[in-house]
Structure 1
Amino acid sequence: MKKPAAPTEQTYAELQQAYEHFNRTLFDAGLPDCLITLQREKRSMGYFSSRRFADAHGNFTDEIAMNPSYFAVVPVLETMQTLVHEMCHLWQFHFGKPGRGRYHNEEWASKMQSIGLMPSSTGQPGGARTGERMSDYALQDGRFVQSCGQLLTTSFCLTWYDRFTDVGDRPRSPAHQMDSSVGGGEPPCVVNPALTQALVNSRNTVTTNGVGAGDTSENTAGTVKQTGPSNRWKYVCPCNTNVWGKPGLQIICGGCSGTFVAAQGMGATVA
């Protein structure tokens, strides 16, 4: 019987697999290798740091850090969106002109849009394209949606996750700073239905093993599971209060006077 891969080897192999897939499908295999690390930076799902590591021969490599605290509490689709966001910073460092400090400039924004991620200061349509703290959302039928759908219909999964995470199911907002080093950004504030649909479409033709964070059961690839009854949506407000109700509700929070936003249409997460 073959010995299972060690957790360290398995975790980094999965992240490397995702990096190589997106490099090939979104960047024409033009990005150099980097060192992917796991970091628990507070209020950060990931960041990019250029030339962060060196070896004994004087060679340098960049770092893309991913926060494992989020692996179990957000859909794997959003984790991949964070990875690609940071890959755009890596692309700009090597082939463009990064903004000063943590500023996300127009060149970066244009690159993001060209691969199917629209920069937005709010994580939703209408937000600013550039700025210090940036989010993004996936464009319907864009290159990222298509590429992510391809990845998640292979044997890809994120097997290991942090079971003592303290982030819970709180929504992410522009206050969650992603760029704790050079570059970075916010993931979308809501689960993008285009990404969910990419899995639903691919599910009709391919079935493989375990594509979700921590899910290694058979015949679950591309399966969109319900977190609640199909007639209930989850809504969140700026002060992180969660409520469940029927689709299409318009709710004002009595605590912060903010508007509740549908965080998970039909309660869909990826398992």
Structure 2
Amino acid sequence: MTAVPTHQTYAELQQAYEHFNQALFGGQLPNCLITLQREKRSMGYFSSRRFADAQGNFTDEIAMNPAFFAVMPILETMQTLVHEMCHLWQFHFGKPGRGRYHNEEWAQKMESIGLMPSSTGAPGGARTGERMADYALEDGQFVKACADLLTKSFCLTWYDRFTDLSAVTRSSAERLDSSVGGGDLPCISMPALTHALISSAALPIAGSQAGAVEGSVGMRPTGGSNRWKYVCPCSINVWGKPKLKLICGTCGGVFVSAEAVVLESQAENSINAH
């Protein structure tokens, strides 16, 4: 039977929502409508009573940004979901702050389920404020709930091919054990996904000087050097003549440059903006 991407994607997100609702909120959260939205500089958001049906019923929205699915550990993607679930909890059972303000009640709820609020996303950041991130407490309920979810063969099947690989950062979540999603990023640990993401970098980019060619794409030389820098999916760097076609003997991937990926992403964003 042919896979239906829409069914797969939303069934997986709903599975995660129901799992964390039971594990962290005692099953008290009402259902909501989970959507995919590409909001710049945001991994997700919550909007109360955003949707209505023909009978006059309302439901909340939790939006997830698919641009981050491939380049963030699944632990952090699930953190985003639970972060927004805390906003949903507060809307129904507490007193939300004004506008985008994350108040102390929300911060206490987050900490009680194993996510520490932080304005920087790391220890030492402010607990409350307008724009808030968080990090997982290694012995907290969230980490345990995430581990339980992943033992059920949970995954996010579909990823955005035009994700900007330059968005990859070594975050606090990645220092956690890989069994709870803190190991390799999906774009590194899944060779097929890596190939799908970097293949877009080999496409010609209108108006650029990336020098994209069939096969490997190298980093343009600087200064008086005539050597190009090539990077494979498993992050091995090599230097050689321009326009070489290289295959990595370790991972089997095509060598490509981070610069080409960034340029392709920028070109795609420019097209979407119009």
TM-score band by shorter chain is 0.5 to 0.7
Select the residue among 1, 16, 23 that pairs with 2:14. 16
CA gap of 1:55–1:195, structure 2 versus 1, over 3 A, is farther
Measured against aligned partners, the alpha-carbon deviations of 1:38-82 in whole angstroms (never above 9, x if no partner) come to: 001111110000000000000000000001111111111110010
Give secondary structure in 2 for the equivalent of 1:20: helix
Select the residue among 45, 60, 63 that pairs with 2:61. 63
User: 1:15 Cα deviation (Å)?
Assistant: 0.3
Give secondary structure in 2 for the equivalent of 1:168: helix
Q: Is the 8 A contact 1:157 1:212 kept in 2?
A: no
State the distance in 1 between where 2:174 and 2:160 align: 24
Would you say 1:190 and 2:178 are equivalent positions? no
CA gap of 1:140–1:190, structure 2 versus 1, over 3 A, is closer
Provide structure 1 residue ranges, at least 5 long, that are not aligned to the other structure.
173-188, 201-210, 218-225, 230-271
- Alignment length, in residue pairs? 194
Give the structure, 1 or 2, with the largest relative contact order (CA under 8 Å, sep 6 or more).
Answer: 1
Task: Please list, as runs of the form range in 1=range in 2, the aligned pairs for 1:1-271 lying within 5 A after superposition.
Answer: 3-166=1-164, 168-171=166-169, 189-196=171-178, 198=180
Q: Tell me which structure has the larger Cα radius of gyration.
A: 2
Q: Is the 8 A contact 1:149 1:195 kept in 2?
A: no
User: 1:10 Cα deviation (Å)?
Assistant: 0.5
State the distance in 1 between where 2:2 and 2:166 align: 30
Give secondary structure in 1 for the equivalent of 2:35: strand
Task: Give the alignment's Cα RMSD to 1 decimal.
Answer: 2.7
- Using the size of structure 2 for normalisation, the TM-score is 0.65
Alignment identity in percent?
A: 72
State the distance in 2 between where 1:56 and 1:135 align: 36
State the distance in 1 between where 2:74 and 2:191 align: 14
User: 1:126 Cα deviation (Å)?
Assistant: 1.3
Measured against aligned partners, the alpha-carbon deviations of 1:185-213 in whole angstroms (never above 9, x if no partner) come to: xxxx533423536469xxxxxxxxxx957
State the distance in 1 between where 2:234 and 2:117 align: 28
State the distance in 2 between where 1:215 and 1:36 align: 25
